[in-house]
Structure 1
Amino acid sequence: MRIALYNLTTTTKIGGVESFVWDLARELVKRGHAVDILGGVGTRRETTGARVFTFPFISRRFWQALPPLRRAYAEAKLLERLTMAIAALPTLVRGNYQIIHLQKPYDLLPALLARRLSGAKVILGCHGEDFYRGDRWLARHVDAAVSCSRFNAQTIAGRYGFTPEVVFNGIDTSLFRPQPPDPTRRTRWGLPTDRPLLLFVGRLQPWKGVETAIRALSYIPHTHLIIAGDGEDRERLATIATELGLHERVTFLGSVPRQQLPDLYAAVDILVATSYASETFGIGPVEAQACGLPVVASRFGGFPEVVADGHTGLLVPPRDPPALAEAINTLLRDPDRRAAMAAAAPAWAAQFAWPAVVDRIEAVYRAVVGETVRAR
C-alpha cells in the first residue's frame, strides 16, 4: 500500500505527535508498505525506511505578529499549514497514494483536494483539540478517523459527530523495557544517590503542571525532583523552586534524547505526570511503565487509560500539590507495593506496543481501500 504521512511538524520539532509519525512510518515500512513522510523544511530526520519530502512554509510566528492574529492561535496555525500545502499539493496529488494520513485537522483542505484529484483515501489522525472555524464541514468528508485515546475520541465525537477508531499511540518495547541494575547509574546522570528520586519527562509548558510537582516537594521530605525536558516554562519553574526554597531539590536536565530515557527511568523511583489540560494520551507514563517504573499521574485526559490506578501507579486530582504528595509518600513508605507496581507495569504497557497499534491502524487503512485484513 502507498501511504503518505502528512504533518508539517514531523520534520521541524520534537514532540509526541512527531515521534508517533516517525515510529508509525518505520513500522509500516517493516510490513512492506511504501511510505512517504511529508513535512515542513526542517532538520529532524530519523531512519525509518520511508522517503522524506519537505516543503517551505510561513511560520505561525509571522502570522501571530500581525495585529488581527495576535491572539488567534488556531488561525495562525491554520495559515502556517496552508502555506506548506501550496508547495506540497503537487506531491500529494502525483504520489499515487492509496492513503493520506493526517495528524491535524488543519491539513484537511489540501488532503481532501488531493483526494478529489487523485482518488486517495483520507484518514484523520486525532491527537488533541486543534479546532477552527470551518473544520466541522471539512471533517465530514474524511474516509475514516483514528484517535490516540477514548478520551480524545469522545472529544472528536462531540465536535464532528462521528467517533474515531481508538488505536492509541505506540511505544517501542525493544527500547522501552526494564534495564539491568547498575549502581553507577545515578552518578553517571549526576543525580543524588542518597534519597528517593521523582522524575518528570516532557515539554515545559504551563499546562503540563510541573509547578504542581515542584510545590508538592514541600510535603515530601528528603526527596529530589528530576525534570527532563525543555520549553517556555523552564525559567518560571526555576523561579518558583527558588522562591519556595526548593532549588537544591530540583534538577533540570534539559531535553534528553529518547534513546537515553530507559536508562533515566531506571535511575529513579517514581514518574510524575501532572498535566491538567491538552493531554489526550500520555506517552511518557506508558514508556516509563514499559521500563518497570511506577507512575503517579493526574486524573485527567488520557492518563486514566494509560495508568492502571492501584495496579501500576496512582491517579490524583490535577493541580493539587498536597494530593500529589500524599500519593507519592504512600508509595515511598511502602517499597513492597512500589515493587509490585514496577513488576506489573511492563505487561500492562505491552498493549501499547507498536505491533498492536499498527494492527489497528492497518485494519482501518484496509477497510477504507476495500482490502481484506490479512491474519498475522
Structure 2
Amino acid sequence: MKILLYGINYSPELTGIGKYSGEQARWLARQGHAVRVVTAPPYYPHWQVGEGYSAWRYRTEQDDGVTVIRCPLYVPRQPSALTRVLHLSSFAASSLLAVLGQVRWKPDLVILVVPTLFCAPQALLLARLCGARSVLHIQDYEVDAMFGLGIGAGSRLRRLALGLERWLLRRFDRVSTISSGMLDKARDKGVHSKRLLFFPNWSETARFRQVPRNLALLQRLGVAPGTRVLLYAGNIGEKQGLELILDAAKAHLHRPELVFLIVGQGTGKARLLERVNRDGLRNVLFAPLQAYEDLPALLASVDGHLVIQKRGVADSVLPSKLTNILAVGGHAIITADPDTTLGRLCSEHPGIAVLVEPESVAALNAGIERVLALPARNEVALNYAREFLDKERILQRFMAQV
C-alpha cells in the first residue's frame, strides 16, 4: 500500500507528536508499505529549527525506508496567539504544492495528523483526486485548546472556528484520536461513531520494563545522593501551568531531602527560571531534554512524576509523557478533574495514578505526600501498559481498521 503521512511534527523531534509520527512511519515501512511523509524541519520543543536544517528551504531525505519531504515554515522565537496562527498557516501554505504533487504517486491512504487543521483542505483534495482513503488523526484539539487557554475568546470568532472544524472533521473517511474523552468530543462535533477509531499513543513497553534506578544519571543531572525526586519531563509551555510546580517547591523548602527536577525545553522555561532565582527555590533543578536511550533510566530513577495541566485543556490534549511513565511502573500525580479522560482513567483503574484537583497547590502537595508513601513500583501501571500501550498491538489494530 502507498501511504502518505502529513503533519507538521516528525522525527528527530524527541517529544510529543513528532516522536509518534516518526515511529509510525518507520513501522509502516517495515511492514512493506511504501511510505512518504510531508512535514516541516524539526523545531519542537525548543521552538528553534534543528541544527543542519533550514526554516526556508525544501528538502527530501530518507529515514529508515521512509521518504521525508521537509517544507519551510515560520518558527516564532516567542510564540503568542497571533504568531502561532502564522506558524501553522505558514506550514499549510508551504506544504500545499508538496502534498498536491503526490497526485502522480497516487497514494492509497492519506493520514493527516492534527495539529494542524489548516492542512485539512489539501489532504482531503489529494485523497479525492487519487481515490484514496482519508484519515484525520487528532493528537490535539487545537481549537478547543486555544479557547480553553483564553486565546481569541470572542464568541463570534469561537463559533466560526468551531463551525469550520466541525465541517472539516465530517469530510474525512475516518477520524482517529488518542483517548476515550477525545473520541467523545469528536462525536459532539458531529463525527458519526462508525467513522471513529481509537488510536492511542503507545510505548515501546519492552524497553521500559524492569529498568533499575540509575543513581549516576541523577547525579549527572545535579541530584545529590540520597535525595527523593519529583520529575516533570517534557515540553515547558503554556498549556500545563507549570508555575504550580514552583508553588509546591516553595511549600517544600523545609525538606532538604526532596527535589523537584524539571527536564525539557519550551517557551515557558525562561519564565520559570526567573521565578526560581527570584524566590530562591534551591530545591528546583533544571536539565535539558535527555537522549531517548536514557529515558527509561530517567523515568525509573525518580519517586514521582508530575503530569500537570491547566483546567480546561485536559480533554483537548492528552500528555504523551504518561504512556512511558506507566510503562516503567512510575507513580504519576495528575492534575485533572474527575470527568476528564485522565480523571476517568484513574477511576477505571484504581491505583494507576494519583488524581488531584488542577490549579490547586494544596491538592498537589497532598498528592505528593501520597506518592512518596507508595512502594517503588506501580504494579497497576505496569499491568495497564502491558495490556493497552504496546506499540505493536496498537499499530496493527489501527491498520486493520483504516
Same-fold call, TM > 0.5?
yes
CA separation in 2, counterparts of 1:249 and 1:289?
26
> Do the aligned partners of residues 46 and 178 (structure 1) sit closer, same or farther apart at CA in structure 2, a change above 3 Å counting?
farther
Superposed displacement of residue 184, structure 1: 3.5
Distance 1:9 1:152, change over 3 A: same
Report how many residues are paired: 354
User: Bigger CA drift: 236-245 or 164-173?
Assistant: 236-245
The equivalences for 1:102-251 within 5 A come to 102-104=112-114, 105-131=117-143, 132=161, 134-163=164-193, 164-220=196-252, 221-222=255-256, 223-246=258-281, 248-251=282-285
Cα displacement string for residues 145-187 of structure 1 (whole angstroms, at most 9, x for unaligned residues): 1001112222222234435322211111233333134453432
Aligned residue among 343, 352, 363 for 2:379: 343
Question: Which stretches in structure 1 are left out of the alignment for 5+ residues?
Answer: 366-376
2:109 is the alignment partner of 1:99: yes
SS in 2 for 1:8: coil
Structure 1 Cα separation of the partners of residues 67 and 320 of structure 2? 25
Contact 2:215 2:225 in 1 (8 A): no
What is the identity, as a one-letter code, of the residue corresponding to 1:233? Answer: G
Secondary structure of the corresponding residue to residue 189 of structure 2? helix
SS in 1 for 2:248: helix
Per-residue Cα deviation, 1:123-162 (whole angstroms, up to 9, x for no partner): 0001122244633323222111100111222222223443
Unpaired stretches in structure 2, ≥5 consecutive residues: 43-49, 54-60, 144-160
Q: Does 1:329 align with 2:390?
A: no
Matched, 1:311 2:351: yes
Distance 2:346 2:292 in 1: 20
Show the counterpart of 1:59. 74
> Once superposed, what is the RMSD of the aligned Cα atoms?
2.8
What CA distance in whole angstroms lies between the structure 1 residues aligned with 2:216 and 2:62? 30
SS of equivalent residue, structure 2 residue 384: helix
Structure 2 equivalent of residue 28 of structure 1: 28
Distance 1:92 1:202 in 2: 34
CA 1:217–1:82 in structure 2 vs 1: closer, same or farther (change >3 Å)? closer
1:267 paired with 2:305, answer no
> 297-306 vs 193-202, which deviates more?
297-306
Cα separation, 2, equivalents of 1:73 and 1:161: 30
1:287 alignment partner, SS class: helix
Q: Deviations over 1:89-141 (max 9, x none)?
A: 34331222111000122221111111221111110001122244633323222
Distance, in Å, in 1 between the alignment partners of 2:39 and 2:229 is 38
TM-score by length of 2: 0.79
| Structure in which a larger fraction of residues adopt helix | 1
Task: Give the secondary structure class of the aligned counterpart of 1:297.
Answer: strand
1:307 deviates by 5.2
Q: Would you say the 8 A contact 2:76–2:83 is kept in 1?
A: no
Partners of 1:285 and 1:306 within 8 A in 2: no
Whether contact under 8 Å (1:74, 1:130) holds in the other structure is no
Counterpart AA for 1:52: V
Structure 1 residue 86 corresponds to structure 2 residue 120: no
